[in-house]
Amino acid sequence: MTVEELREVAEKEVARQKEYKHRVLYCSAAGCVSCGSDATKAAFRNSLKEKGLDKEIEVLGTGCMGLCGQGPLVKVHSDDSLYERVDAEAAKKIVEEHIVNGRKVEENLIDTSAPFFSSQKKVVLENCGKINAESIEEYIAVGGYEALAKCLTELQPIEVIETVRKSGLRGRGGAGYPTGLKWGIVSKAKGEQKYLICNADEGDPGAFMDRSVLEGDPHRILEGMAIAGYAIGATQGFIYIRAEYPLAIERLKLAIKQAERLGLLGNRIFESQFNFRIDLRIGAGAFVCGEETALLRSIEGRRGRPRPRPPYPSEKGLWGMPTLINNVETYANVAPIINRGSEWFASIGTPKSAGTKVFALAGNIKNTGLIEVPMGVPLRTIIFDIGGGTLSGTEFKAAQTGGPSGGCIPKEFLDLPVDYESLATVGSIMGSGGMIVMDSTSNMVEVAKYFMEFCKDESCGKCIPCRVGTVHIHGLLDKISKKQATQDDLALLEEFCVTVMKTSLCGLGQSAPNPVRSTLKFFRDEYEQLLSKPLTFVPSSNGNGSDKHA
C-alpha cells in the first residue's frame, strides 16, 4: 500500500456512502447490545425491506454513542438526529415517519444541544458512534492511517517522539507519566528486539472506557501502536485484553486481519523499511495484571505476579527486552496529535494536563454513559451539566474516581478542576477514568469495605504487607460496620493503611488503602458513629458488651 492507494480507498468509500440517501447508525457496543440493539437492527432492516428502501438506506452498527443508560441508541446520519430507547416498534416508526415522510419522531428524539453533548469535547471518541467499527474502509474514509503514512514517509522516529513530547500527552492509565518521555527512554534503550504493549486489561470495577474505544474504533488503537512502534524501533506489539470483553476481542481480531490485508500492518508498511505486527493476548481475570510488571509475566504465560522496579519495563520488559507499555486511551490520542500537531493538542486542557479525558460515568446519576471532557473542567460540570445530577434527586455526596486505587471526592470539592495534580491534592487519583457518583443514601464505610474486599481478593499474595494487610483492614472495616469496633480499632485501621501503603511491592498494594484513607479523611463522622464505645475506655462491671474489641 502506498499513500496514494490509501487515499484511493478513502475516496472510494466516501463515494460509496454518498450513494445512500440516509445512513441509519445503531449502537452496537456492549451496553446497547444488552438493551436489545440486535432486535432494533432487525426491525430496521425488515421495515426498510417492506417499503422497498433497503437499497437506498444503509443500516450499520457503530461504537458507543455515550448515553448508555438510554439504549438502544440510533442515529439518522443525514441530519444527525439521535434517538433513544429504540425498540422494534420505535424502529418501525422511525422508518415510516422520519425516513419516508421526513418528520422526526419526537417521543424518542434526544436533544443534542443539551449540556450532556455541548459540554463534551471529543478527541479519543470522535469516531465512536460515527463509523462502522467493523470496516477499515470507513476508518480510512475519515482520515484513518494518514498519521501513520505521514510518520513513515515524512518524519524520523526522533521527530515523532518530539511531537508527542511537545503535545504534553500523559499516560491515560492513571499515573500520568509523560508519554513522549517514556517513548524516548525506550527508543534509547539497548536491546536486539524491542516490544510494545497496549494495556487493555481494564480491571477497575465501574470503568468501561477502554472497552468502548476498542469496540467502537479499534483501528485507531492499531494505528497509534504502529506509530509508537516506528518511533521506538519495535517490530512486535501485543494487546493485552481482558477475557471479559468478548466483543472487543472479536473486533480487534477482525481489525488486525483487515489491516494486514491492506498492508497497513506487516512488512514494509507504506513501502518503508518498517515492519510491524500486532498480536492479541487474552487475560484470564486477574486485576493485578493491570500492573505493568505483572502484565509482562502474564504475556509470558506465567502467573501475573509483580516484581520490584527498577529495572523498569522500558529497560527490561518482555523476555528481558526493552518494552513500551501504554494504555488504550494513550494510543488513541497518538494519531490526532500527529495529524493536527502538538500545539493543537497542548491547547486543549490545562498546561500540565493536556488533552481530554474519557470518563465512564455511572452510579447514582441520571445520564450514565461514556463522556469525554477537556482536562481541567470542574467536577461540577461533569456531575451536574453532563451527568444531570443524581438519579434519586437527593443531594450529591461524593464521586469516586480511580476505582480500588482511588478515592472519594466529597461535595466540598465540586469546583475542583479534574486533572492529575488537582485530584491528587484531595487524596484521589485520575485513574483510568471510572467515575461513580454517590448520593446521600450511600454508606461510606460500606464503600470502603467493598473496595477493600476487592483488593483482598485480588492481592496476588507475593508480598506480605498487601497479602496480610488487606485482610486485616477488611476485617477491621467489617467490625466497624457491624458496630463492634472501638476507637482503638479505628487507630489500628489508620496505622495499617499507612503500613500497607508504604511497604507494599506494587501499585495494587500501595494504593489499596486509598479508598479507606479518603473516606476517613472526609467522612470520619460516619466511621465514628459506628463505633460501639465513646473515646474513653471504661471497663464494664458486668462484663457484658463493653469490651467487644477483645
Partner 1 sequence: MADPTTSKSPAGHPSGDNRFKLLDRTITKYHSRGDALIEVLHAAQGIFGFLENDLLIYVARALRLPLSTVYGVATFYHFFRLKPKGEHTFVLCMGTACYVKGAAGIQKAVEEHCQCKFGETTADNKISLIQARCVGSCGLAPVAVIDDNVAGKLTSETALNRIKQMQSTATEVVA
Residues in contact with partner 1 by CB under 8 A are: 30-31, 33-35, 67-69, 71, 202-208, 211, 243-245, 281-287, 298-304, 360, 362-364, 368-369, 400, 403, 434, 436, 438, 442, 447, 450-451, 454, 460
* DSSP H or E run through 188: helix 179-188
- Which residue, 158 or 243, is less far from partner 1 as judged by CB? 243
> Residue 210 in contact with residue 372, Cβ under 8 Å?
no
The distance of closest approach from Cβ of residue 117 to partner 1 in the complex, given in angstroms and rounded to an integer, is 16
How many angstroms separate the Cα of 247 from the Cα of each of 20, 64, 384?
28, 13, 32
Strands (E) in 317-395, as ranges, are: 323-327, 356-363, 369-374
- Which residue, 481 or 499, is less far from partner 1 as judged by CB? 481
Please tell me the total number of residues recorded for the chain in this structure. 550
The distance of closest approach from Cβ of residue 251 to partner 1 in the complex, given in angstroms and rounded to an integer, is 14
The distance of closest approach from Cβ of residue 188 to partner 1 in the complex, given in angstroms and rounded to an integer, is 27
Question: What's the rounded Cα separation, in Å, for the pair 264 and 266?
Answer: 7
**Residue 179 exposed, middle or buried by CB count within 10 Å (0-12, 13-18, 19+):** buried
Residue 349, SS3 per DSSP: strand
- Which residue, 243 or 424, is less far from partner 1 as judged by CB? 243
- Which residue, 212 or 486, is less far from partner 1 as judged by CB? 212
Question: What's the rounded Cα separation, in Å, for the pair 198 and 81?
Answer: 35
Grid cell of 98 as nine digits: 422520519
How many angstroms separate the Cα of 89 from the Cα of each of 44, 65, 92, 166?
10, 21, 5, 51
- Which residue, 47 or 368, is less far from partner 1 as judged by CB? 368
- Which residue, 276 or 454, is less far from partner 1 as judged by CB? 454
The distance of closest approach from Cβ of residue 284 to partner 1 in the complex, given in angstroms and rounded to an integer, is 3
Residue 27, SS3 per DSSP: strand
Residue with cell 508504604: 502
Residue 102, SS3 per DSSP: coil
- Which residue, 126 or 458, is less far from partner 1 as judged by CB? 458
